[in-house]
Amino acid sequence: MKKKPSLDKSGAQGVVTITEPSAPILLFDSGVGGLTVLAEMRKLLPQAPVVYVADTAALPYGEKTERQIATRVPALLGRLVERYRPRLVTIACNTASTIALAAAREALELPIVGTVPAIKPAAATTQTGVIGLLGTAATIRQAYVDNLEREFAADKLLLRHAAPALVQAAEAKLRGDPVDPAVFAAAAEGLRAQPGGEKIDVVVLACTHFPLLREELRAAFGPGVALIDGAAGIARRIAFLTQGQRFERDRPDTAVFTGENGTLERLLPALAGYGLERIEHL
Ligand code: DGL
């Protein structure tokens, strides 16, 4: 029988803190991208029970409309919260966060950590003043990104490029499927070919899938270009918000998939490498 988590009001604007030690941290992405956030979180909270959710039925998010993401993500998170009773949700996806973070927070009574492009640290790192940003098509057109640019990089040149092929490449890589190396050169070229692009010395990996391709992208951009992502910062935020809480696993960490296209079997070794031993379907 499923234990009912005990709840207590933290007092913070209707946010409910689940104090049950077995209550998991739920990480959510369209696919394998959120594993890059999970890896950083494990370093800080190795004992935390985890439910990792990949909304593979709707992958890729980056090719969807704002309306599709804005209606799907909060509703799906609502179902997941009902089912898994997490103590905290992390939207480990830039596309979903830049579009639906506010709506998800509005709809759910628990702490929700979002993932937004690491423009602030990139602005602090660049020497040339020219920053590249690689994301999905949906992410790079968001007002959320315009606002980050205005707030943190107003005196810099921020060049954006959509690289949906990298999402596919990361999904393929984790399944052990072949990846066409041309996609990395094309992503680098998509930034460099823009006016001022030759001066880029920092690239924001503004999609959680992309750090899975760090080595390939490093080779494509060459030395002298730093690749920055937000995963470590998100992990720190999760650790901060769960400070002082007890963690106790009462079952193996679980990966949940909303859709299956016949390739899940090939993903199992990679998932096990991230400590996800159990698979469920929603
Ligand atoms: N991992 C997601 C992100 O951070 C997007 C991948 C997709 O297009 O579904 O934006």
72 and 131 housed in the same domain = no
Cβ–Cβ < 8 Å for 242, 266: no
User: Do 106 and 138 reside in the same domain of the chain?
Assistant: no
Indicate if 24 and 49 belong to the same structural domain. Answer: yes
Residue 195 Cα to ligand 1 midpoint, Å, equals 26
- Which pLDDT band holds residue 14 (cuts at 50, 70, 90)? low
Instruction: Check pLDDT > 80 for residue 177.
Output: yes
Are 124 and 220 part of one and the same domain? yes
CATH code of the domain containing 157? 3.40.50.1860
Q: Characterise 222 by phi-psi region: left (phi > 0), alpha (psi -120 to 50), beta (else).
A: left
Q: Are residues 167 and 33 in the same domain?
A: no
Closest ligand 1 atom, residue 95 Cα: 10
Claim to verify: residue 21 and residue 80 sit in the same structural domain: yes
| Pairing of the two strands 88-91 and 278-281 | unpaired
Q: 169 CB less than 6 Å from ligand 1? A: no
How many domains, in total, are found in the chain? 2
CA of 164 to the centre of ligand 1 (A): 9
Write down the H helix ranges in 126-263.
137-140, 143-152, 164-175, 182-192, 214-221, 231-241
Which pair of structure tokens corresponds to residue 36? 């890059």
**Shared-domain flag, residues 24 and 62:** yes
Same domain (yes/no): 58, 71: yes
Domain end: 210, 229, 248, which one?
A: 229
Query: pLDDT value at position 264?
Result: 94
**Do 60 and 102 belong together in one domain?**
yes
167 lines ligand 1 (CB under 6 A): yes
Ligand 1: which of 36, 66, 136, 257 to mutate, judged by most atoms within 8 Å of the beta carbon? Answer: 136
Q: For a pocket test of ligand 1, which of 53, 93, 116, 141 has the largest count of ligand atoms closer than 8 A to its C-beta?
A: 93
Exposure string of 31-55, with b = 16+ CB inside 10 Å and e = fewer, is bbbbbbbbbbbbeebeebbbbbbbb
Rounded Cα distance, 250 and 69, in Å: 33
Q: What whole-number distance in Å separates Cα of residue 203 and Cα of residue 130? A: 9
- As given in the structure block, the two tokens for residue 219 are 């080779």
Q: Is the pLDDT confidence value at 12 over 70?
A: no
CB–CB of 237/145 below 8 Å?
Answer: no
| pLDDT tens profile 106-165 | 999 999 999 999 999 999 999 999 999 999 999 999 999 999 999 999 999 999 999 999
- Based on the domain organization, do 250 and 207 belong to the same domain? no
Last residue of a domain, one of 207, 229, 251: 229
Domain co-membership, 217 together with 131? yes
Which range of residues forms the domain containing residue 43?
7-115+232-281
- Mean pLDDT of all residues in the chain? 94
pLDDT at residue 3 tops 50: no
Quote the pTM value: 0.93
Residue 2 lies in a domain: no
With a 6 Å cutoff on the Cβ, whether 64 touches ligand 1 is no
Residue 1 falls within a domain, yes or no? no
Same domain, 213 and 255: no
Q: Determine if ligand 1 sits within 6 Å of the CB of residue 254.
A: no
Tell me which residues are annotated as active site.
Answer: 93, 207
Mind listing the pLDDT tens digit for each residue in 220-269? 999 999 999 999 999 999 999 999 999 999 999 999 999 988 999 999 99
